[in-house]
């Protein structure tokens, strides 16, 4: 066993060294071919970067629309108006019972004084409210549903709240939420479809670019095949070329989205300030920014593999 290991180890090392030299040569050759036509290379990378940035921009828009829907007017909360005779102790007890429900995430009590102060802040209501002999507003419970509830479960929770003897009125924006959720789901599906279509377009663009490069080097490929070069060796420089195209286009797409975030930063700050900081906007997560160039490099590899394999399958002249 030791003698066999001693004889196979030296053989494996030259093979590994030769494999490394081949990849290093193919790497240099692919970069050399890209540098030979700088304008065409840059044009291809920019066009692919613009195409790949569109799904990222739509994803950024959808993520912030979700933040907007959760902040505007406390759209996810269900307003439970208690009867005028309910006291603070009864409201606290009812809030504790509702917090124990599995479909409720949070319950906030809004006192009549808080409600009157909000109405007084509205233009035109201040003088009229001061003329009232007493505060006519009841206690209000803002019930936040648990995340993950579907429409049927949320409707069942609202019906249970309306059946409580202490409740006078339940105000639910469930229909508006359902429409918004449907629009967001549609946007997600459209973004995914757009990403797939533009990814396929990137594969075709890189494949066609590599195909044109292969046609200009057809004689060189024929000579390599005559001297016994394998298909993988002939294909390898073009695979590296496709990877470089995709990786550079992915970086351009990320830079474009970051530029878009920087351009919109000032208007977003003004919008957040107008809502007293209740709105929250964010950029793309770091994982998406890191995965975009890698996925684009994989698409470039696929396009180059399709183009080079199609050429190698043709019968030699």
CATH at 133: 3.30.70.3040
Kindly state the helix (H) or strand (E) to which residue 137 belongs, with its residue range: none
The closest alpha carbon to 253, from 293, 282, 206, belongs to: 293
Q: pLDDT tens digit string along 15-24? A: 777 667 777 8
> What range does the domain containing 47 cover?
23-71+179-312
Domain boundary among 155, 172, 189: 172
64, 190: one domain? yes
Is 5 within the bounds of a domain? Answer: no
Q: Is residue 283 scored above 80 in pLDDT?
A: no
Is 11 within the bounds of a domain? Answer: no
Are the C-beta atoms of 303 and 210 separated by less than 8 Å? yes
216, 153: one domain? no
Is 108 within the bounds of a domain? Answer: yes
Using pLDDT thresholds of 50, 70 and 90, give the confidence band for residue 302. Answer: very high
48, 111: one domain? no
Q: pLDDT tens digit string along 26-39? A: 778 778 878 888 88
Give long-range contacts, CB 8 A cutoff, 24+ apart: 89-92: 90/166, 91/139, 91/141
What value does the mean pLDDT take over residues 83-100? 89
What letter does residue 122 receive in the DSSP assignment?
S
pLDDT given at position 1:
41
195, 296: one domain? yes
CA dist 241 and 220 (Å) reads 17
pLDDT given at position 173:
67
92, 34: one domain? no
266, 283: one domain? yes
What value does the mean pLDDT take over residues 81-104? 89
256, 292: one domain? yes
Is 4 within the bounds of a domain? Answer: no
163, 93: one domain? yes
Domain boundary among 172, 190, 216: 172
The closest alpha carbon to 62, from 146, 181, 177, belongs to: 181
184, 308: one domain? yes
CA dist 225 and 222 (Å) reads 5
Is 198 within the bounds of a domain? Answer: yes
Q: Is residue 180 scored above 90 in pLDDT?
A: no
Domain boundary among 156, 172, 188: 172
63, 187: one domain? yes
Q: Is residue 11 scored above 70 in pLDDT?
A: no
- Say how many C-beta atoms besides its own lie within 10 A of residue 41's C-beta: 18
Q: Is residue 74 scored above 60 in pLDDT?
A: no
Is 7 within the bounds of a domain? Answer: no
CA dist 62 and 68 (Å) reads 10
* pTM score, whole prediction: 0.64
Domains in the chain, number: 2
pLDDT given at position 9:
46
Of the two residues 109 and 5, the one the predictor is more confident about is 109
271, 204: one domain? yes
What value does the mean pLDDT take over residues 257-268? 81
Is 16 within the bounds of a domain? Answer: no
214, 304: one domain? yes
Q: pLDDT tens digit string along 117-144? A: 776 666 555 555 565 666 677 888 888 8
CA dist 188 and 196 (Å) reads 12
Is 209 within the bounds of a domain? Answer: yes
pLDDT given at position 189:
86
Q: Is residue 225 scored above 90 in pLDDT?
A: no
pLDDT given at position 8:
45
């Amino acid at each position: 066993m030791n003698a066999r290991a001693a004889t196979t180890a030296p053989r494996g090392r030259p093979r590994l060294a030769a494999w490394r030299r081949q990849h290093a040569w193919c790497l240099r050759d692919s970069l050399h071919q890209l540098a030979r036509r700088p304008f065409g290379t840059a044009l291809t990378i920019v066009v692919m970067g613009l195409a790949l940035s569109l799904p990222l921009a739509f994803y950024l828009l959808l993520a912030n629309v979700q933040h907007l829907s959760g902040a505007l007017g406390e759209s996810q909360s269900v307003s439970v108006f208690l009867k005028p005779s309910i006291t603070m102790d009864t409201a606290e007890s009812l809030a504790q019972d509702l917090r124990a429900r599995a479909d409720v995430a949070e319950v906030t009590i809004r006192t009549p004084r808080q409600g009157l102060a909000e109405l007084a802040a509205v233009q035109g209501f201040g003088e009229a409210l001061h003329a009232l002999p007493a505060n006519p507003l009841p206690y209000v419970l803002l019930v936040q549903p648990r995340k993950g509830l579907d429409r049927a479960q949320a409707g069942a929770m609202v019906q249970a709240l309306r059946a409580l003897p202490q409740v006078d009125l339940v105000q639910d924006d469930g229909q508006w939420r359902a429409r918004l959720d449907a629009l967001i789901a549609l946007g997600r599906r459209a973004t995914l479809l757009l990403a797939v279509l533009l990814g396929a377009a990137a594969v075709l663009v890189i494949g066609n670019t590599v195909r044109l490069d292969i046609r200009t080097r057809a004689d060189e490929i024929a000579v390599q095949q005559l001297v016994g070069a394998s298909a993988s060796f002939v294909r390898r420089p073009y695979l590296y070329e496709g990877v470089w195209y995709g990786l550079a286009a992915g970086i351009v797409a990320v830079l474009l989205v970051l530029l878009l975030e920087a351009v919109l930063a000032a208007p977003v700050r003004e919008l957040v300030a107008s809502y007293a900081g209740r709105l929250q906007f964010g950029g793309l997560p770091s994982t998406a920014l890191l995965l975009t160039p890698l996925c684009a490099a994989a698409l470039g590899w696929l396009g180059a593999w399709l183009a080079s394999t199609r050429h190698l399958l043709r019968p030699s002249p």
